[in-house]
Structure 1
């Protein structure tokens, strides 16, 4: 028996859509568990049913995978709007300072370096200031997302307890 390709289109029957969602969600989670065990990967799956019910799966947990993704995404998009690197280059090697250390190479992160040691001209200082403001904005939006997620989780748990 061979598998046939299913045309991608909206399923008209609401009952059939619910059954299909349940089966596909279960199959997707089964495949995700297999991938996690075979290749030591981290996976997060977030899906909503037609009624708006939230279903999640995560290895090791949804929160840890999402946090790691957002942390990587935030540091990648932390630059100024003119395609300039947010990392300020220092002239010569700088000793590690107390503070945040970049995990990749053991160097202090660009925002943790003292400004006095940077030997920057006025344009570079403006760029550095803009990068710090972008970082502050990203941290504020990340905090807001985390607070909203915590609120949604409380609402979802309360919804489950009520039903």
Structure 2
């Protein structure tokens, strides 16, 4: 009898080859998981270090996803215009949300009615999107957030046009 127990050799942590994934479904799953992990790590890095960063990823299907801290648009605009100061981002953090910009008390009756209509349209658009997502559509909540803001504005403008007529 042997007193020594043979240890099973594990492969342990080792370097893997980087190859293109040929199976389309595996490629999509891997992209989705890796993208989310990348965005989570980037967000954690920004919070811990105070860094500002923007990440743009394009899925195998051609959809574009962005991450930015404080926002991808602000960082890209600052980079493209050549401004190296981050004062713009700190003022954006101080401003807060767009609905906090103007006090409701200062609006007259016509502006209040328009504000109420705008909020109703926004509520309807969000409710429609929630219904779509509950019915099992292919889009995830992050796709909704990544959706082009022009489509929301177009929907809002068309509903405003219907209200005017």
TM-score, length-normalised on structure 1?
Answer: 0.44
TM-score, length-normalised on structure 2?
Answer: 0.43
- Give the structure with the larger helix fraction: 2
